[in-house]
Chain A
């Protein structure tokens, strides 16, 4: 499976999905001018990865850990993050265990709250990490 790596800009986060290294991370700020254009390839990649896992009969004993390390995301990005997390939830239900690690700057309670809101919408376990 080809990795997906998109470098960050002032408006968009870094995407680093490297299945060979078991690295799945989104980090930075997200307020793209065209949110759909930015996130659609990310969502397509996750769909393809789910098919790849199915085809390769991924073992249920393994676990995928997706790391979310946002400094900020706007409300429009939140809609697409919801879609991404829902897709991960489908992988968890159909293929193999998935866990989300949600990182936030120590004083940024709003970012932690946002993660908690996402966690209420899916069955994926979230682990929260405060970063100083």
Chain B
């Protein structure tokens, strides 16, 4: 072991200081998503307070992970290849739970993603619920619907959805998405 291995300890310190309950990095498939969901379910059960918030965190986490998976699934269906690396963390402090996800995105998809989130953020809670009813009863969309997932996350978190696109090169960026959920 040498100084080059210090990064492990640094990661540990950062995770400890940020109360990270779960961190995952790598490719995400449905099996891994299930494993992460099961792990968080058990961790949240250990916390005896605020069961209402625990269920909320759980529900939002499922939607966030499925959204990452869906993003890559759509890319595959378009016969486009992108780096499948994803990152997901769940952490907390005395006021909030934080769910942060990251994945690669094609630059030509950024405006769609940005517009989708900005549209939801611009609405008050009644507007979000109205939009939810429209999406959930839209029979033209048969399967997974990111619009519906995003508005569901926004309603349950009752907070502004935050995001950032960090340019990687001329074709791709890294898309970071964060949800805050009030503890009490």
Known A79-B136, A107-B52, A117-B132; contact A36-B142, beta-carbon cutoff 8 A: yes
Across-interface contacts of B145 in A (CB, < 8 A): 75-76, 79
Chain A residue nearest in CB terms to B59: A72
0 or 1 for each of B19-60: is its CB under 8 Å from A? (1 = yes): 000000000001000100010000000000001100110110
Across-interface contacts of B52 in A (CB, < 8 A): 107-110
Across-interface contacts of B51 in A (CB, < 8 A): 105, 107-108
0 or 1 for each of B143-182: is its CB under 8 Å from A? (1 = yes): 1110011001001100000000000000000000000000
Across-interface contacts of A21 in B (CB, < 8 A): none
Size bracket of the A interface: 20 to 34
Cβ-defined contact, B66 with A74, below 8 A: yes
Q: How many residues of B contact A (CB 8 A)?
A: 29
Find A117's partner among B30, B55, B59, B129 (CB 8 Å cutoff): B129
Across-interface contacts of A117 in B (CB, < 8 A): 129, 132-133, 136
User: A127–B94 Cα gap in the complex (Å)?
Assistant: 36
- Is A33 in the interface zone, CB < 8 Å from B? yes
Across-interface contacts of B138 in A (CB, < 8 A): 79
**Closest Cβ–Cβ distance, residue B51 to chain A (whole Å):** 4
Interface of chain A: mostly helix, strand, loop or mixed: helix
- Is A57 in the interface zone, CB < 8 Å from B? no
Q: Which residues of A contact B (CB under 8 A)?
A: 10-11, 31, 33, 35-36, 72, 74-76, 78-79, 82-83, 86, 105, 107-111, 113, 117, 120-121
Given contacts A36-B143, A75-B63, A86-B137, 5 further A-B contacts (CB under 8 A): A35-B144, A72-B55, A72-B62, A74-B66, A75-B148
Q: Which residues of B contact A (CB under 8 A)?
A: 30, 34, 38, 51-52, 55-56, 58-59, 62-63, 66, 129, 132-133, 136-139, 141-145, 148-149, 152, 155-156
- Name 17 A/B residue pairs within 8 A (Cβ), A-sorted: A11-B34, A35-B143, A36-B142, A36-B143, A75-B148, A76-B66, A76-B148, A79-B138, A86-B137, A105-B51, A107-B55, A108-B52, A109-B52, A110-B56, A110-B59, A117-B129, A121-B133
